[in-house]
Amino acid sequence: MTKRQRKNRKRINRLVELWPELFNREKPQPLKVEIPDDLIQDIAIRELAFGAGALRAAVASYVRSPRYYRALMAGGARYDLKGQPCGEVTPQEQKEAETRLMMLNDRRKARKYR
């Protein structure tokens, strides 16, 4: 595991710790569109030590995981900070997730055979 991967893992663990209703490594659920804005607001309200840049990097890493792509491909509801349904995954988003997952798998295969 690279230094960057370790750093991202720590950041994601922090997301899971702070918002357990929303973030789950094993069974991710589609996040509300623009959820980072809600998270930043919640950080300010709760006076948490979590910078906006680190937060955005953590969320970006979380939503680029194969499990998250599969959750999007399955469709259904998106979820807010409290873990409540808030919008739906569109068919276009499902297709984009499938494409991104295929690209991710292709990159991993290419690295494996170098």
Number of structural domains the chain divides into: 1
User: Residue 50: is its pLDDT beyond 80?
Assistant: yes
Alpha carbons 96 and 68: distance in angstroms, whole number = 12
User: Residue 86: is its pLDDT beyond 80?
Assistant: yes
- Distances in whole angstroms, Cα of residue 76 to Cα of each of 11, 48, 112: 26, 31, 33
Structural domain range at position 31: 1-111
Alpha carbons 88 and 38: distance in angstroms, whole number = 17
Over residues 6-34, the pLDDT tens digits come to 988 899 999 999 999 999 999 999 999 99
In this structure, what CATH number is given to the domain that contains residue 32? 1.10.1710.10
Strand partners, 77: 88
Q: Reduced to 3 DSSP states, what percent helix, strand and coil does the chain have, rounded to the nearest 5?
A: 60, 5, 30
pLDDT for the residue 108: 80
User: Residue 114: is its pLDDT beyond 70?
Assistant: no
